[in-house]
Amino acid sequence: MPDKKQRQLNLSEDNVLNAVNVFLDEGRKFHRLSNYKRAMRLYDVAVELDPESLAPLEHRAATLVKLAYFPEALEEIEKLEEALGAQGRPLPRSARRTQVEALWQQGEFERAAVLAARGIDPPRHSPYFTDMYFTSLATLEQCLGPAASDLLDRVLEQPELLDSLRPEPEDEVAPPRKQRPRAKNKAELCREQRYREFLRQRRLYRARVFLGALASDVEFIDNLGEHPALPSANRASEAWIRRHVNIIGDDVLKRVDLLAVECPLYAVEHRTAVRVSPELRARRAEDLEMRREHAREQAARAVLRVLALRPSDDPRLFTQALRAARKFFETTSRRELPDKAEYQALLYHLIGIAYLHFNLPEGGGPGGSEARARRLRDRVNTIMQTGEKGDLVMAGTTMPFFDYAGSLRLSEQRLKRASSRLERLCITFEMAHCCSKLRRWSDSLSYSRKALALAREAGHNVWGVVAAIELCKAELHLKVILEAKTSIREAIELAEPLEDECLLEMLHAIASALERVPGPGAGAGAGPGAGALYDEQAQALSPQKRILRLMADEALRSRCAEMFARINTLPPEYRLPLQAAWTRADQEREHDQAQQRPISAPTFFRESDTEA
């Protein structure tokens, strides 16, 4: 007795066959139009009409591959192969292509290579099976390393096979032209363009060149890494990434068993498994060293120029110095273990830029200071309005020398778009610094803690020292002395691996002075050095003299004084930026004592000594 669906439709056996073909044709049409879910619904109806038919199996498998359901697609192909084998018929080449594609996308590269090798028919020279064969071999080469070298050697021992392979354009039926095609958005156009470029490259290279490029040449793999490996530009790329790719940091890895295997057509950053020739490695190291030397030279020159200026001079140089120092840091920090000299120079660049930059009085001072600040702001606004914004607002920098509130807003926006850990660390520290300049000590405390945590996570001791000093400064202003003592101890702990005696002596001097500061409940019975940090007379001294005054140990004080004397006798071009700025601060204080203003809380650098 016919079932309910056949009874309703009054279908005979011929009518059922015709209906199955109609649903399959409609499903293929929607498959070509990239509407894979609707195609699957039509194929399901065809299967319900005739569960014994073999016709829907291949089409269902092709659509399941597009939807990134690779195990289900392989099941359909296995059913088809088993049924055809029972009838003594071979599996069609199109179904074999679908099977190879599903295996490769699922990460079973060895099985994909074996099946692709079976599909290489010398009379036809199928470019798809050729490319999939060598792509799978190259992926295995990256998975197994030296263990796959004998496999490649056996392939290379067949020159007649390799010479006979000539990749040609695919002989596929073009999809039907739409009468009113929907306008594609930019993402779809870019994806199709990238895939067309990938196909062009794949067809240009002969098999031997393609194998050599995928197996050995890292630059060609870099180029392939920008192109999707899916057969067409559609939503299956997102489905593939969603179901079969683990995103760890910025590296796109493909999991095969217990190995983190790099997929050469997807990965962009993680290329440790690729063999790099010694010549290429030497060339890259030489180029990196040259760029590092150039960045170091430019940073030193720019920072020294800035630190030699007075606040009324050109403010654009400060932004140039900030960019140069950040470039210097990024270039020198690419190596795993930078040497001591680079870390020492970098440390002084960072502290010099963070604390010894342009000082603009924000009101509350003498009329002359306000007038000078107003003139400088007008000058900066004029520069910005005349179109020279490139000198002020650059990628990766803000303007902490004149508009701290605007700089903070810019940094908040840039933090949302930050891609690397180093960039987030730089921006977080800038936000902490801007908040301290705006006297928003609670926000400065929060951002400084975040910057310190990021520096510890990234393992950058120099950034950790600077963030800990900024955190200590905010805690001093908030009158939480115990936390400030903890922060300065953390700065000392982070500075010890740098082996910088000058920095350690400064930090120990600050820590010993903090130990003499009374806590919240201390009374008048504190020691004679209890008010050392809050002595307003001490704030009028130069930074060098103030550090000497804070030292309780006579031997340490004499050693530090000798060090300062040696620094002051050096020519300016040989001094490190912070040391040169110390000397400049001493000279300015001797010639400009009348401009000094009292300060609300203790700090140890010139930045806060002259600000309201």
| pLDDT tens-digit map of 463-501 | 788 788 788 878 877 877 778 888 888 888 887 876 666
Out of 58-62, 95-99, 513-517, which region has the weakest mean confidence (pLDDT)?
A: 513-517
Higher pLDDT, 242 or 569: 569
Q: At what angle do helices 421-437 and 461-477 cross, to 10 degrees?
A: 20
Residue 574 reports pLDDT greater than 70: no
Give the pair of three-digit tokens for residue 278.
Answer: 């010694």
Model confidence at 58, pLDDT cuts 50, 70, 90, reads: very high
Residue 519 reports pLDDT greater than 80: no
Res 550: pLDDT: 63
Model confidence at 82, pLDDT cuts 50, 70, 90, reads: very high
Higher pLDDT, 352 or 179: 179
Res 242: pLDDT: 37
Model confidence at 293, pLDDT cuts 50, 70, 90, reads: low
Out of 114-123, 164-173, 358-367, which region has the weakest mean confidence (pLDDT)?
A: 358-367
Q: Which residues contact 15 (CB under 8 A, 6 or more apart)?
A: 9
pLDDT in tens, 323-378: 555 555 555 444 433 344 444 444 444 444 433 333 333 333 344 545 554 554 45
**Using CA atoms, how far apart are residues 77 and 522, in angstroms rounded to an integer?**
82
Dihedral angle of Cα 394, 398, 402, 407, to the nearest 10 degrees = 130
Per DSSP, the residues of 429-440 read HHHHHHHHHTT-
* Residues 549-572, mean pLDDT to the nearest whole number: 65
Q: Which residues contact 22 (CB under 8 A, 6 or more apart)?
A: none
pLDDT in tens, 258-267: 233 333 333 3
Q: Which of 543, 583, 591 is nearest to 565 (CA)?
A: 583
**Using CA atoms, how far apart are residues 250 and 203, in angstroms rounded to an integer?**
30
Higher pLDDT, 179 or 606: 179
Per DSSP, the residues of 412-468 read HHHHHH--SHHHHHHHHHHHHHHHHHTT-HHHHHHHHHHHHHHHHHHT-HHHHHHHH
Q: Which of 161, 263, 155 is nearest to 211 (CA)?
A: 155
pLDDT in tens, 200-250: 555 444 333 334 433 333 333 333 333 333 333 333 333 333 333 333 223
Same fold yes or no, 1-105 and 287-520+528-609: yes
Res 397: pLDDT: 34
pTM score over 0.75: no
Domain ranges of the chain: 1-105, 107-172+185-276, 287-520+528-609
Out of 95-109, 490-504, 509-523, 598-612, which region has the weakest mean confidence (pLDDT)?
A: 598-612
Res 233: pLDDT: 35
**Using CA atoms, how far apart are residues 473 and 603, in angstroms rounded to an integer?**
7
**Using CA atoms, how far apart are residues 598 and 596, in angstroms rounded to an integer?**
7
Q: Which of 133, 13, 148, 603 is nearest to 354 (CA)?
A: 603
Mean pLDDT of the chain: 61
Give the pair of three-digit tokens for residue 563.
Answer: 């060090």
SS (H, E, C) 13-36: HHHHHHHHHHHHHHHHHHHHCCCH
**Using CA atoms, how far apart are residues 271 and 279, in angstroms rounded to an integer?**
17
Model confidence at 564, pLDDT cuts 50, 70, 90, reads: low
Res 459: pLDDT: 78
**Using CA atoms, how far apart are residues 320 and 304, in angstroms rounded to an integer?**
11
- The top-level CATH class assigned to 1-105 is mainly alpha
Higher pLDDT, 209 or 176: 176
Residue 75 reports pLDDT greater than 80: yes
Ramachandran category for residue 523: left, alpha or beta (phi over 0 → left; psi -120 to 50 → alpha): beta
Higher pLDDT, 271 or 18: 18
Higher pLDDT, 508 or 168: 508
Res 42: pLDDT: 93
Span between the terminal Cα atoms of the chain, in Å: 97
Residue 9 reports pLDDT greater than 70: no
* Residues 31-52, mean pLDDT to the nearest whole number: 88
- The fold of 287-520+528-609 is 1.25.40
Burial grade of 443 (CB within 10 A; 0-12, 13-18, 19 or more): middle
Res 137: pLDDT: 66
C-alpha dist (Å) from residue 37 to 25, 30, 71 = 15, 9, 17
Res 567: pLDDT: 59
Res 575: pLDDT: 44
Q: What is the CA radius of gyration of the chain?
A: 35
**Using CA atoms, how far apart are residues 216 and 64, in angstroms rounded to an integer?**
34
* Residues 514-521, mean pLDDT to the nearest whole number: 59
